[in-house]
Amino acid sequence: MAPGLAVENGNTLMASEPQMYQKGVKHLCDNGLNKLPSKYILPNSDRPDTSDYSPHLHVSGPLQLPLIDFAQLLGPNRHHVIHSLTKACQEYGFFQVINHGISNDVITNMREVCSKFFELPYEERAKYMSSDMHATVRYGTSFNQNKDNVYCWRDFLKLTCNPNDLHQLLSGWPSSPSGFKDSASTYVEETRGLFLSLVKAIVESLGKEIDENEEQLLLNEFENGSQLMVVNCYPKCPEPELTLGMPPHSDYGFLTLLLQDQVEGLQIHYKQKWVTVQPLPNSFVVNIGDHLEIFSNGKYKSVLHRVVVNAKKTRISVATLHSLPFDSIIKPWPKLVNEENPRLYRDTDFGTFLEYISSCEPKRKNFLESRKIIH
């Protein structure tokens, strides 16, 4: 056996276990893997339940989320679409946007450069590897590799994309593969525009009178807000029933826009069961984050979701997480707080969130629970 290699469960692996796992799932797979290393094996209680795929759970196959036709939202049927949006946010915490106006070319180019990034040699990807939660460009693995007791079957590239700093931030983004910066920056700007239109509709869907000045002040905050892009890679897994690509969690921002490929993997917690979201070509899955739950004073809920993996196909997804500026205070919208509807959440900000997840293993909606006011 070559120096620096070891065997675990029949796999030939790097001898230094911490270093081996820190290099990520893609590196493990590229070096040959036919069994799941112990670091990725979840306790029985946390494993994806094979009954999640049984016929009794999906009467007509995977769950199709409520559809929001963006073109209709901008037309004479806006009132009906707003009503559908309210229902989707209250019942599912997720919806799917079609006819959103972002061209197929922008989406296709983004998918291609993201796939090519994870096909780069490890040494090229490793240039961006960091465990610093504050890093503006960060390649990593699992969910929180500093705190996870069991690693997730996932590698990721995180890019801070705040609009006021985007030109400066671009210089630190990967220069390989060719065209990555151009495709990614175009995608960031297009998704920001979609997000701002959705925010306007969501504020309207909350059902409170708001004059043009109030609305513009609110939208101005989001226009200068935070945007984080996370490109996820979930390689083929030799034993997918023993692990997860992402554990159950909610997103910390206001809204997340997710671009999926056609490989199923996203599951949401719906009516006490895990159900698989059916991907629709070139659509965006949009989910409510913790900040919107706080802003809506609990009217809209951020929903637990997770990612399962498979043995046949690598899955790539691109998530853009949008919210107010990093230094903004997130609190319930005053229009939704009164004697009958008391304030349910404490003020918070992005720094508080980072401090929380840096100090413990992130689980489910624990951070949001820590913000709740008990009456």
Half-sphere exposure of 255 toward its Cβ, with a 13 Å CA cutoff? 25
Domain hosting 319: range is 44-371
- Cβ-based neighbours of 113, under 8 Å, separated by 6 or more: 177, 179, 180, 183, 184
Choose between 284 and 370: higher pLDDT: 284
* pLDDT at residue number 363: 57
pLDDT at 362: 55
Return the percentage of the chain with pLDDT > 90, whole number.
Answer: 63
pLDDT the model gives residue 164:
86
Per-residue pLDDT at 360: 57
9 assigned to some structural domain: no
Let me know if residue 69 belongs to a domain: yes
Report pLDDT for 369. Answer: 85
Domain assignment of residue 158, yes or no? yes
Please give the single-letter amino acid code of residue 114: C
Q: What's residue 213's pLDDT?
A: 86
Cβ-Cβ contacts under 8 Å for 233 (sequence gap 6 or more):
25, 26, 118, 154, 155, 156, 314, 315, 316
pLDDT at residue 162 above 70?
yes
- pLDDT, one tens digit per residue, over 237-282 is 999 999 999 999 999 899 999 999 989 999 999 988 899 998 899 9
In a domain, 1, yes or no: no
Assign 359 a pLDDT band (cuts: 50, 70, 90).
low
Q: 358 or 2: whose pLDDT is higher? A: 358
Q: Quick one: pLDDT at residue 13?
A: 47
Q: What is the pTM of this model?
A: 0.89
CB atoms within 10 A of CB 210: 15
Q: Is the per-residue pLDDT at 322 higher than 90?
A: yes
How wide is the angle at C-alpha 231 spanned by C-alphas 245 and 50, nearest 5°?
20
Q: Looking at the DSSP assignment, which residues form a beta bridge with residue 357? A: none
Instruction: Give me the DSSP letters along 96-151.
Output: EEES-S--HHHHHHHHHHHHHHHHS-HHHHGGGB---TT-SEEEEETTTTTT-SS-
- Confidence band of 94 (pLDDT split at 50, 70, 90): very high
Which pLDDT belongs to residue 6? Answer: 46
Closest by Cα among 68, 114, 109, 98 to 282: 98
Domain-located, residue 24: no
Render pLDDT for 24-80 as a digit per residue (tens, 0 to 9): 999 999 888 889 999 999 999 889 975 444 433 333 347 889 999 999 998 899 999
Instruction: Count CB neighbours of 327 within 10 A.
Output: 9
Label residue 2 by pLDDT band (50, 70, 90): very low
CA distance 128 to 148: 20
Angle at 170 between CA 168 and CA 176, to 5 degrees: 155
Residue 32 domain flag = no
Which tokens in the block code for residue 261? Answer: 């490929």
Mean pLDDT of the chain: 87
Confirm whether 11 is domain-assigned: no
- CATH number, domain of 189, equals 2.60.120.330
CA dihedral sign, ordered 93, 43, 232, 370: positive
Report the share of the chain in percent with pLDDT over 70: 88
Total domain count, the chain: 1
Residue 262 lies in a domain: yes
